[in-house]
């Protein structure tokens, strides 16, 4: 368990930050709202002045002349929280960093340790102007909600219901009050203020539909019919959820890259607690345990989300896993495929706690998977079984080690 005290949880990504901050003058920490970005950077850089640009007085003070503000007050370092509210800052910090790097090179210093820290809940890679100035000068850290190891949560239904937002583990706040406030805050500050969407009521219904489709292909025709929205609008709204680290997509596994991009992706939430809060009739962990559909969807979502979190913690940003989908007569699916060093690992994800040998059946059907390492991730004990290995959901690190 990575809990250090009742006020702060040590994050696994800090090991990667230790490496990156030695080589880049700018550090960008991105992730969804309330994922712990502010706590992390203020603990990691206690000596740097801090400005939250969502606060009106900070925004007004800095936006008047951001270049002068940086050069007069921030040359020894600074933290700008929610920096995308003043996007010119990236251009200014690029110029300042280049100047400082040139000075360092003249002194035979090959690298400039991190001096400027930017955080945000909106993925700046979707903003071409910001991306252009940041690439090559900023280390990118993605901070998502807590991993299972960080939360220390061992009960699968509590883990799915509670999710991983740190505040739920450090001050006694409960999901029943946190998530309604979180959703409303997200709608007002991100969806309306940043993206200019006025119809928040329909957007919330859209989020609820996405939660009901977790682990599935997004059906544009069906959702568009229900909400009376065009495919273009739905695509835009999916991009908003994706760019603000609410959802991600897992694609199918194919040997051919072209075939991979010609097929649909499955939708998942980064946080199962948020997904559960958007679903119907889930008011406690027992509601997930007693609802076969919700239990299966949320458990699969939790495992995929955990894989993405572990991937980012190690500084990797390519999708870490795929699924195997065989269509047509006799079609079947394998829940997760991981490729490491040219070797495949095939994984079935089951929310039950009693191992069933039949869970390996689909992994044996295709010739390309017969030589793959085979796993079942479930809620029972970790053990070697005939045909592969059964992993408790808390032991996912073994997928990286074996």
Confidence at residue 136, expressed as pLDDT on a 0 to 100 scale = 74
354/222 same-domain check: no
Same domain as 178, residue 308 = yes
For residues 178 and 308, membership in a common domain is answered with yes
Spatial separation of the C-alpha atoms in residues 223 and 219, rounded to whole Å: 6
Q: Tell me: the pLDDT tens digits for 134-182?
A: 777 888 899 999 999 999 999 999 999 999 999 999 978 899 999 999 9
160 lies in a domain? no
At 401 the pLDDT is 62
Q: Are residues 121 and 254 in the same domain?
A: no
Q: Of the candidates 252, 281, 312, which is a domain's last residue?
A: 312
Looking at the fold, whether 128 and 176 belong to one and the same domain comes out as no
**Sheet hosting strand 50-52, strand order edge to edge:** 50-52, 78-81, 116-120, 26-30, 138-142
CA dihedral 352, 208, 147, 119 (to 10 degrees): 170
Instruction: Report whether 357 contacts 386 (CB < 8 A).
Output: yes
Provide the pLDDT for residue 400: 75
Considering Cα of 218, then 211, then 11, then 243, what sign does the dihedral take?
A: positive
Position 182 in a domain: yes
pLDDT at 214: 97
The answer to whether residue 149 is domain-embedded is no
Q: What is the DSSP string of 220-239?
A: HHHHHHHHT--HHHHHHHHH
| CB of 167 closer than 8 Å to CB of 178 | yes
In a domain? residue 127: yes
Q: What is the CATH number of the domain that holds 81?
A: 3.40.50
Same domain, 50 and 123: yes
pLDDT value of position 47: 95
pLDDT at 171: 79
Do 307 and 326 share a domain, yes or no? no
191 closest CA partner among 244, 145, 232, 230: 244
Among 183, 195, 288, which Cα is nearest to 246's?
183
**Residue 162 covered by a domain:** no
Residue 230 maps to which CATH number? 1.10.10
How high is the pLDDT of residue 263?
A: 54
* DSSP codes joined into one string, 20-82: HTTT-SEEEEE-STTSSHHHHHHHH-TTS-EEETTSHHHHHHHHTSHHHHHHHH-TT-EEEET
Q: How many domains does the chain have?
A: 3
pLDDT for res 258:
39
Q: Which of 312, 334, 364 is the last residue of a domain?
A: 312
Residues 196 and 305 both lie in one domain: yes
The 388-392 sheet, strands edge to edge = 322-326, 332-340, 343-349, 373-378, 388-392, 383-385
- So what's the pLDDT on residue 107? 85
Residues 183 and 306 in one domain: yes
DSSP letter for 17, please: H
Rounded Cα gap, residues 91 and 132, in angstroms: 9
Which structure tokens are listed for 186?
């997200």
Collapsing DSSP states into helix, strand and coil, what is residue 246? coil
Query: Is the pTM above the cut of 0.85?
Result: yes
Looking at residue 372, the DSSP 8-state letter turns out to be S
Residue 387 CB burial class (10 angstroms; 0-12, 13-18, ≥19): middle
Residue 163 lies in a domain: no
Instruction: Provide the 8-state DSSP code for 248.
Output: E
* pLDDT number for residue 129: 66
Tell me which residue range forms the domain holding 345.
322-401
In a domain, 2, yes or no: no
Residues 273, 350: one domain?
Answer: no
Separation CA 152–CA 160 (nearest Å): 13
Question: For residue 317, is it within any domain?
Answer: no
Q: Where among 287, 312, 337 does a domain terminate?
A: 312
| pLDDT one digit per residue (tens) for the chain, 402 residues | 344 445 789 999 999 999 999 989 999 999 999 999 999 999 999 999 999 999 999 999 999 999 999 999 999 999 999 998 998 999 999 999 999 989 888 888 877 899 999 999 888 766 666 777 777 788 889 999 999 999 999 999 999 999 999 999 997 889 999 999 999 999 998 999 889 999 999 999 999 999 999 999 999 999 999 999 999 999 999 999 999 999 999 999 876 543 444 458 999 999 999 999 999 899 999 999 999 999 999 999 999 999 999 999 988 777 788 998 877 677 789 999 998 878 899 999 999 999 999 999 999 888 888 889 999 999 999 999 998 999 999 999 888 765
Judgement on whether residues 133 and 187 belong to the same structural domain of the protein: no
Assess whether 262 and 326 both reside in one domain.
Answer: no
3-state secondary structure of 339: strand
């Amino acid at each position: 368990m990575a809990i250090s005290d009742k006020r702060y949880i040590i994050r696994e990504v800090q090991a990667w930050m230790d490496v990156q901050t030695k080589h880049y003058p700018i550090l960008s920490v991105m992730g969804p709202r309330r994922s712990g970005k502010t706590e992390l950077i203020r603990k990691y850089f206690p000596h740097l002045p801090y400005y939250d640009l969502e606060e009106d007085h900070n925004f007004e003070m800095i936006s008047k002349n951001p270049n002068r503000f940086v050069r007069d007050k921030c040359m020894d370092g600074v933290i700008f929280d929610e920096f995308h509210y003043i996007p010119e800052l990236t251009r200014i910090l690029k110029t300042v960093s280049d100047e400082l790097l040139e000075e360092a090179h003249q002194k035979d210093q090959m690298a400039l340790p991190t001096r400027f820290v930017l955080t945000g809940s909106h993925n700046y890679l979707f903003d071409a102007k910001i991306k252009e100035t940041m690439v090559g000068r900023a280390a990118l850290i993605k901070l998502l909600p807590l991993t299972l190891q960080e939360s220390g949560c061992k009960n699968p239904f509590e883990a799915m219901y509670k999710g991983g937002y740190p505040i739920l583990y450090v001050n006694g706040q409960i999901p029943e009050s946190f998530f309604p406030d979180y959703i409303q805050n997200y709608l007002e500050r991100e969806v309306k203020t940043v993206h200019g969407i006025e119809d928040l009521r329909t957007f919330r219904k859209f989020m609820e539909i996405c939660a009901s489709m977790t682990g599935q292909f997004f059906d544009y025709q069906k959702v568009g019919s229900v909400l009376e929205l065009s495919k273009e609008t739905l695509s835009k709204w999916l991009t908003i959820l994706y760019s603000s680290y609410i959802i991600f997509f897992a694609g199918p596994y194919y040997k051919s890259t072209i075939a991979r991009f010609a097929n649909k992706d499955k939708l998942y939430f980064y946080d199962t607690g948020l997904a559960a809060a958007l679903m119907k009739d889930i008011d406690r962990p027992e509601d997930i345990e007693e609802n076969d559909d919700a239990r299966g969807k949320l458990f699969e979502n939790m495992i995929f989300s955990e894989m993405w979190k572990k991937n980012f913690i190690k500084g990797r940003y390519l999708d870490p896993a795929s699924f195997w989908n065989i269509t047509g007569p006799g079609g079947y699916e394998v829940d997760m495929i991981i490729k490491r060093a040219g070797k495949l690992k095939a994984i079935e994800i089951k929310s039950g706690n009693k191992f069933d040998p039949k869970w390996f059946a689909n992994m044996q059907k295709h010739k390309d998977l017969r030589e793959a390492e085979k796993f079942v991730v479930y809620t029972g004990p970790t053990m070697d079984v005939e045909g592969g290995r059964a992993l408790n959901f808390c032991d996912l690190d073994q997928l990286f080690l074996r």
